[in-house]
Amino acid sequence: MNKFTYLLSALLVTALSTAATAQTAPKAKTAKSMGKMSKDCCMMKDGKMMMMKGGKMMPMTGNMTMSDGTMCMTDGTCMKKDGTKMTMTNGQCMMKDGKMTTMDEMKKDAKMKHSGKMGNMKM
């Protein structure tokens, strides 16, 4: 029984240390993943609140508070720190800093950054 307990505890320690390493190890960014929009935000998509985190989109399961104090609820309502309320419509995105944008604007900004044509813009 003593050998069994030793082997079981050794196996458990190995499994726990492997799991801890897998959770804390940073993921390598590939050229493919870096080209995707990876800005963290919450957005209304097809009538459902979604959140984008690390370039992955998933359903919002709880309220999110942005860095400026704005809170986005799972029903699409956003309440600013000053009490101003708004309801998000399809395609609108609330960035982590509390600024509202749209998916189209985010895509356009990503294209401009990667195309190098910003210097040709007229102001």
Q: Are 60 and 51 in contact (CB under 8 A)?
A: yes
Question: What tokens were used for 82?
Answer: 């000053």
The string of pLDDT tens digits covering residues 22-68 is 554 444 433 343 344 457 899 999 999 999 888 899 999 999 999 99
| DSSP assignment string, 74-101 | TTSEEE-TTS-EEE--TTEEEETTS-EE
SS3 34: helix
Element spanning 65, H or E: strand 64-65
Tell me which DSSP letter residue 47 carries: T
Q: Are 75 and 45 in contact (CB under 8 A)?
A: no
Q: Does the structure show a pLDDT above 60 at 19?
A: no
* CA-wise closest residue to 102 among 110, 114, 94: 94
The string of pLDDT tens digits covering residues 65-121 is 999 999 999 999 999 999 999 999 999 999 999 999 988 887 787 777 666 555 555
